[in-house]
C-alpha cells in the first residue's frame, strides 16, 4: 500500500509547488488588480495577456488540460481593451474573453466551458486588413450564467440573474431574470429572482461557519 500511495503523495507535492510558483512568479503579475487570491485548477492552462485586466475576490478558475482559458485585452489603432471580473465569479475551462473596449463581468457570474465573449469584430467589414473594426462594451450584470459554448457579441448587456443557454449566440440585449437560447438568442422562460441562490450566498455561509468555529 505504501508503494501505491507514495507516487500520489509526491505527485501532489510537485503539483502544489508548481502551482504556487506559477501563481506568484507569473500569473498574478499579469493582472492590473486582484481582489483576493483566486482558486485555480490547471493554472498552466490559463493565458492572461494585455493591459487593464482586473479580478475581484473569491474567483475560481477551473482550466482543464487541452482546453486553454484565454483572457486577453488589446491596445491597437486607438483602441484599448479592459476586462473587469467581479467577486465570486466562476470561470470554467476553455473560456475566451477578448476585449478592445470593455468587458465587464459582474459579481456572482458563471462562465461555462468554451464560452466566448468578444467586444469587437476584429476586422473592418470592408477593409479586412484593418483591425479592430467595430467595437462596443459587453456587460454581464450580477448573477449571469453563460452556458457551454455560447457566444456573447459586442455591445450586449445581459441582465441580472439571466441564463444564456448552451451554444446560444447573443447579438442583442437580454433582460434580467430570464433564460435565453438559440441563434440568435431569444427569451424562452422567466425566472423568479427570489429563488436564485448565488455564489455570494455560499461564501457568506462559509464565513458564518468559520466564525462559529465549526
Residue 193's SS3 state is helix
Q: What is the DSSP-derived secondary structure letter of residue 29? A: G
What distances in angstroms separate CA 117 from CA 4, 39, 97, 202, 205, one per listed residue?
Answer: 44, 22, 5, 26, 31
User: Rounded to whole angstroms, how far apart are CA atoms 61 and 42?
Assistant: 8
User: Rounded to whole angstroms, how far apart are CA atoms 135 and 22?
Assistant: 33
Q: Which of 24, 33, 79, 123 is catalytic?
A: 123
Q: Residue 50 contacts by C-beta under 8 Å, 6 or more apart in sequence?
A: 72, 73, 74, 75, 81, 99
Q: Report which of 153, 135, 136 is spatially closest to residue 96, judged by C-alpha positions.
A: 153
Annotated active-site residue 123? The verdict is: yes
Contact criterion met (CB below 8 Å) for 90 and 68: no
User: Rounded to whole angstroms, how far apart are CA atoms 104 and 72?
Assistant: 13
User: Rounded to whole angstroms, how far apart are CA atoms 62 and 16?
Assistant: 15
Contact criterion met (CB below 8 Å) for 67 and 45: yes
Supply the residues annotated as catalytic. Answer: 123
Amino acid at each position: 500500500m505504501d508503494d501505491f500511495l507514495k507516487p500520489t503523495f509526491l505527485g501532489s507535492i510537485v503539483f502544489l509547488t508548481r502551482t504556487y510558483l506559477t501563481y506568484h512568479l507569473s500569473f498574478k503579475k499579469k493582472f492590473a488588480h486582484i481582489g483576493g487570491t483566486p482558486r485555480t485548477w490547471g493554472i498552466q492552462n490559463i493565458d492572461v495577456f494585455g493591459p487593464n485586466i482586473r479580478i475581484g475576490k473569491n474567483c475560481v478558475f477551473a482550466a482543464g488540460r487541452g482546453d486553454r482559458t484565454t483572457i486577453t485585452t488589446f491596445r491597437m489603432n486607438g483602441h484599448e481593451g479592459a476586462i473587469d471580473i467581479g467577486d465570486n465569479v466562476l470561470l470554467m475551462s476553455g473560456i475566451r474573453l477578448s476585449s478592445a473596449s470593455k468587458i465587464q463581468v459582474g459579481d456572482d457570474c458563471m462562465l461555462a466551458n468554451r464560452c466566448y465573449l468578444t467586444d469587437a469584430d476584429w476586422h473592418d467589414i470592408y477593409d479586412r486588413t484593418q483591425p479592430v473594426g467595430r467595437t462596443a462594451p459587453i456587460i454581464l450584470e450580477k448573477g449571469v450564467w453563460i452556458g457551454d459554448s455560447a457566444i456573447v457579441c459586442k455591445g450586449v448587456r445581459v441582465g441580472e440573474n439571466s441564463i444564456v443557454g448552451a451554444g446560444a449566440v447573443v447579438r442583442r440585449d437580454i433582460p434580467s431574470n430570464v433564460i435565453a437560447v438559440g441563434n440568435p438568442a431569444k427569451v424562452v422562460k422567466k425566472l423568479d429572482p427570489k429563488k436564485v441562490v448565488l455564489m455570494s450566498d455560499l461564501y457568506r455561509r462559509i464565513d458564518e461557519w468559520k466564525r462559529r468555529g465549526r
